[in-house]
Amino acid sequence: MPTTKEQLLELERRRKKIWEMGGASRVEKQHASGKLTARERVGLLFDPGTFQELGLFVTAPDDPDGVTYPSDGVVVGCGAIRGRLTFVAAQDFTVGGGAVGARHAEKIHDVMQEALRCGAPFIQINDSGGARIQEGVDSLHGYGHIFYDNVLLSGVVPQISIIAGPCAGGAAYSPALTDFIIMVSKAAKMFITGPEVVKAVTGQDITAEALGGALVATSLSGVAHFMAQNDEEAVEIAKRLLSFLPQNNTVDPPRVSSGSVLEFTPDLFLDEIIPDDPREPYNVLDVILHLVDDGDFLEIQPQFAPNIVIGLGRIGGRSVGLVANQPNALAGALDINASNKSARFIRFCNAMNIPLVTLVDVPGFLPGIEQEYGGIIRHGAKMLFAYGAATVPKITIILRKAYGGAYLAMCGKAMGADRVFAWPTAEIAVMGADGAVRVLYKKELEQAKDRDAVRTEKTEEYRRQHASPYVAAGKGQVDAVIMPRDTREYLLFALETLHTKRELRPAKKHGTMPL
């Protein structure tokens, strides 16, 4: 019978062995490839001394002593991130390539279930060769549980994925079911079928990086939301993101103290941002940075569909989701990618009690065969659906163009906007003045001696009679025409007023959103 002291020493010995994970040479290899181990990543994520690991001694079914698979290759537990409870599952590539066996999956499943019960965010750090081949269908079954949990947690607690290594095949669907994906440059790879299969099936030659690296996923496919240069930056992005979010869907995001709500200074910069020439672009990010507290704005998916800007900021200390047309890209027109990008973000904000602030300068939906064949009607409808279904406070500011269905897709008054404010430069109409004059005065223009003079005259008349913000304001479709310099004050006031907004709708399972 071992003495108590011997038993305590035995615990120490066992723990030390497990903490070595895949062993010195594999850890060295991991470091040499620019990657951290799972415990190092977890150490960066949580406030010092707050992380408590669960299931340290779990091992694979065919490895009872945990020699091959210490902790079964995944570190799970909970702790505080900037003082707020968060759950984590971090795969360790040094243990069997971070591959997912039955117990590895069970550990993730258990911690996700606890995140759900406690109403706290869940972060997963993926670095894995996928299903553990030796465990066959048990591995597949385990993945199924994780996917199912991702769906259960969706809309209840925030879910963030950091892809810090391989995450290929069906495994990529777990992060895809979470709210945000952060990919580490060079290390992360996400694809359903890798380069060899692509080559065998299609004959196309492509590297893993070009097929599913961080740059491709954040710019071309839109699969991921952020690209980080290394593990440290990925963790920082996750922490910053969490700072804007609530713990779960039953509470508001934390309010950051920012002095008196009604304190404001007119911002003359905004009076001059709209160019005199309606065709001239400007950078809507400049407007956003002047509206949010301390110019602190976390842009999401900045490289994907740059014709629309989405992101999180605070106004008067309260988190807001911003959606803005970007005149600097495709003149701010809405296309398929912009519709998908923003609709998903609107849904997320609504689920997480984050008010929506929409900045409109939209000439319309992007014309073209590619867009029509690609289903722009179906995709654009997602924006209408997402805004129409959102019950959080919705505040719309029309900066310049607000034309046709695209204006409604940017949360026009009739789409349930609680406030619509327009700058004096706003043009709200079914279509732009040039196009409207071409349709309405086709005959006059054909017969006119001085076609340009008639066109100019009719364009001015159209702007006065139809497109001016005062026309829409006169009909109550705009709540106020405001000086650009006062926009922040109007936003502060509206957010304060609408903070207690409640909207009851008929009970249903869910709407049938066009997908």
Rounded to the nearest whole angstrom, what is the least distance from the CB of residue 42 to ligand HXC in the complex?
Answer: 20
Contact 65, 96 (CB under 8 A): no
Residues written for the chain: 515
- CA–CA separation, 255 and 243 (whole Å): 10
**Active-site position among 212, 364, 388, 405:** 405
Comparison of 148 and 269: residue with beta carbon closer to ligand HXC: 148
Q: What is the token pair recorded at 513? A: 């959103």
Comparison of 140 and 431: residue with beta carbon closer to ligand HXC: 140
Judging by DSSP bridges, how do beta strands 122-126 and 159-163 pair with one another? parallel
Rounded to the nearest whole angstrom, what is the least distance from the CB of residue 101 to ligand HXC in the complex?
Answer: 8
Q: Position of tokens 């609709």?
A: 343
Contact 189, 181 (CB under 8 A): no
Comparison of 22 and 412: residue with beta carbon closer to ligand HXC: 22
Q: Position of tokens 């994520």?
A: 45
**Active-site position among 23, 136, 144, 170:** 170
Pick from 190, 194, 158: nearest CA to 176:
190
Contact 153, 112 (CB under 8 A): yes
Judging by DSSP bridges, how do beta strands 297-300 and 226-228 pair with one another? unpaired
Judging by DSSP bridges, how do beta strands 122-126 and 297-300 pair with one another? unpaired
- At what angle are helices 376-389 and 336-351 packed, to 10 degrees? 20
Comparison of 128 and 459: residue with beta carbon closer to ligand HXC: 128
Comparison of 139 and 243: residue with beta carbon closer to ligand HXC: 139
- CA–CA separation, 226 and 311 (whole Å): 11
Phi, psi of 287 (to 5 degrees): -65, -50
Contact 513, 388 (CB under 8 A): no
Rounded to the nearest whole angstrom, what is the least distance from the CB of residue 97 to ligand HXC in the complex?
Answer: 2
**Active-site position among 43, 119, 155, 169:** 169
Residue 240, phi-psi category: left (phi > 0), alpha (psi -120 to 50), beta (remainder) = alpha
Rounded to the nearest whole angstrom, what is the least distance from the CB of residue 229 to ligand HXC in the complex?
Answer: 20
491 Cβ contact partners less than 8 Å away, ≥ 6 residues apart: 291, 315, 316, 357, 395, 397
Rounded to the nearest whole angstrom, what is the least distance from the CB of residue 125 to ligand HXC in the complex?
Answer: 16
388 labelled catalytic = no
> What is the SS3 assignment for 139-166?
HHHHHHHHHHHHHHHCCCCCEEEEECCE
Rounded to the nearest whole angstrom, what is the least distance from the CB of residue 415 to ligand HXC in the complex?
Answer: 38
Rounded to the nearest whole angstrom, what is the least distance from the CB of residue 218 to ligand HXC in the complex?
Answer: 21
Rounded to the nearest whole angstrom, what is the least distance from the CB of residue 62 to ligand HXC in the complex?
Answer: 12
Comparison of 139 and 487: residue with beta carbon closer to ligand HXC: 139
23 labelled catalytic = no
Residue 360 parent element (H or E): strand 356-362
Rounded to the nearest whole angstrom, what is the least distance from the CB of residue 147 to ligand HXC in the complex?
Answer: 7
Residue 284's CB is within 10 A of a number of other CB atoms, namely 24
Comparison of 125 and 333: residue with beta carbon closer to ligand HXC: 125
Comparison of 194 and 404: residue with beta carbon closer to ligand HXC: 194
**Active-site position among 406, 422, 429, 433:** 406
- State the amino acid at position 29 in one-letter form: K
Residue 71 parent element (H or E): none
405 labelled catalytic = yes
Pick from 156, 108, 120, 107: nearest CA to 46:
120
- Cα–Cα distances (Å) from 201 to 189, 193, 205, 207, 213, in that order, read 20, 10, 11, 15, 20
Q: Which residues bind ligand HXC (CB under 6 A)?
A: 26, 96-97, 99, 129-133, 140, 143, 166, 169-171
Q: Position of tokens 């009604």?
A: 262
Comparison of 132 and 347: residue with beta carbon closer to ligand HXC: 132
Comparison of 166 and 311: residue with beta carbon closer to ligand HXC: 166
Rounded to the nearest whole angstrom, what is the least distance from the CB of residue 44 to ligand HXC in the complex?
Answer: 22
93 Cβ contact partners less than 8 Å away, ≥ 6 residues apart: 22, 30, 35, 37, 38, 127, 128, 129, 165, 166
Residue 259, phi-psi category: left (phi > 0), alpha (psi -120 to 50), beta (remainder) = left
Any idea which residues carry the catalytic annotation?
169-170, 405-406
